């Protein structure tokens, strides 16, 4: 019975992060909404600067739980510039935690507030945050034939024209790679074979549309492309790859190490024409695939469970994350201590969600 209680307690490690991250959502959205109204008659750069700062505060709290709370080891390989840049971030897609990897890298460049995502269209219906991510510079897209190129171009061009700092995150595979989803993998491999492209084993065949539109719109504004490859160590057993950890499993410390390989590619080395870029992007994913094959399958034990080259164990100081957690949780607790505050809190959840859904419906 005691052992059962210990195991149950351990499995509930995700409860505190879940309560805080979700519980502070109305507080954060209210703070953003007040600033949005106050800045309505100010130049857009003033709104953007504080919005980026607010976003940095919230995401720093997220990283408090996903780095400091879990105690995960971050192993960095390759090139991560110390200074912030305007970039497109291209990565393999393995877990619901992948979006946090972009935060992990951005905070180490003091660029956390500049992170913006290309997201699946269905995520715009998230309570409160579905609308906010769009306001912060996120772009919702449909896959395949429903992809709205004009809409994406218009949004990106407006950000470029406004001088908005961009750390634009794209997952070109379009969906997560899960070794247990054999039909998805087979379909992806068949897609590559039909087009005369090399078949990939540990990543899915990348799609070109979002990447090409982003680069074409931002090429004069960009500094570089970051090609990022990620492995979550700890879920794999005896060399056999398994599904990457979910957010809940990650918070329960089921992935004690994350290996992150970064290639910084100068924009002049990226082809502009779509078909040439398609081949280039596939070649980048071939490089990822070869690294992952060596990570899992190398006959040399010294080269297995690591990426090529030197790794750096990067530990994030709690000073960068704890203040944000204390500020947001403290403000939320204060709001909930009064009857008027509780009413405002509940109404924000209800009406904020409804208004957000209405907004993303009428204004993509």
What string of pLDDT tens digits covers the 364 residues of the chain?
444 444 444 556 778 888 899 999 999 999 999 999 999 888 888 899 999 999 999 999 999 999 999 889 999 999 888 889 999 999 999 999 999 999 999 999 999 999 999 998 888 899 999 899 988 989 998 876 677 888 899 999 999 999 999 999 999 998 999 988 889 999 999 999 998 899 999 999 999 999 999 999 999 999 999 999 999 986 444 445 667 888 888 887 777 889 999 999 999 999 999 999 999 999 999 999 999 999 988 888 888 889 999 999 999 999 999 999 999 999 999 999 999 999 999 999 999 999 988 888 887 6
- Residue 215 has which token pair? 């680069």
pLDDT attached to residue 236: 47
- Residue 231 has which token pair? 């492995």
pLDDT attached to residue 144: 67
Q: Collapsing DSSP states into helix, strand and coil, what is residue 84?
A: coil
pLDDT attached to residue 362: 81
pLDDT attached to residue 11: 56
**Residue 243 DSSP label:** P
CB atoms within 10 A of CB 294: 17
151 phi, psi to nearest 5 deg: -65, -45
pLDDT attached to residue 10: 52
pLDDT attached to residue 12: 65
Picking from 88, 7, 74, the residue whose alpha carbon sits closest to that of residue 259 is 74
Q: At a CB cut-off of 8 Å and minimum separation 6, what does 202 contact?
A: 177, 241, 288, 289, 292, 293, 296
The whole-model pTM stands at: 0.92
Q: Are 71 and 151 in contact (CB under 8 A)?
A: no
- Residue 188 has which token pair? 């992806």
């Amino acid at each position: 019975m005691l052992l059962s209680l210990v195991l149950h307690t351990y499995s509930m490690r995700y409860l505190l992060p879940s309560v805080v991250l979700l519980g502070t959502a109305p507080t954060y959205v209210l703070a953003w909404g007040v600033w949005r109204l106050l800045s309505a008659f100010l130049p857009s750069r003033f709104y953007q600067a504080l919005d980026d700062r607010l976003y940095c505060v919230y995401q720093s709290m997220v990283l408090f739980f996903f780095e400091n709370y879990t105690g995960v080891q971050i192993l960095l390989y390759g090139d991560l510039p110390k200074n912030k840049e305007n970039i497109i971030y291209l990565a393999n897609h393995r877990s619901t935690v992948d979006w946090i990897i972009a935060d992990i890298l951005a905070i180490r460049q003091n660029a956390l507030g500049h992170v913006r995502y290309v997201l699946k269209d269905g995520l715009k219906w998230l309570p409160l945050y579905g609308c906010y991510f769009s306001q912060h510079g996120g772009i919702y897209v449909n896959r395949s034939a429903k992809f709205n190129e004009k809409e994406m171009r218009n949004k990106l061009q407006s950000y470029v024209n406004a001088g908005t700092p961009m750390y634009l995150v794209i997952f070109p595979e379009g969906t997560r790679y899960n070794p247990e989803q054999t039909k998805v993998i087979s379909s992806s491999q068949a897609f590559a074979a039909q087009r005369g492209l090399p078949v990939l084993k540990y990543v899915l065949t990348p799609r070109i549309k979002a990447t090409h539109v982003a680069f074409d719109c931002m090429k004069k504004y960009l500094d570089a492309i970051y090609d990022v490859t990620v492995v979550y160590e700890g879920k794999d057993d005896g060399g056999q790859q398994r599904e990457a950890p979910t957010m809940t499993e990650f918070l329960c410390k089921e992935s004690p190490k994350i290996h992150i390989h970064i290639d910084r590619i100068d924009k002049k080395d990226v082809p502009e024409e779509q078909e040439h870029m398609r081949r280039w992007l596939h070649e980048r994913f071939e490089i990822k695939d070869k690294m992952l094959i060596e990570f899992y399958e190398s006959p040399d034990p010294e080269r297995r469970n690591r990426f090529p080259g030197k790794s750096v164990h990067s530990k994030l100081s709690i000073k960068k994350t704890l203040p944000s957690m204390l500020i947001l949780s403290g403000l939320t607790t204060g709001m909930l201590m009064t009857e008027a505050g509780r009413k405002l809190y509940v109404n924000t959840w209800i009406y904020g969600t409804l208004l957000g859904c209405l907004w993303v419906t009428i204004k993509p």
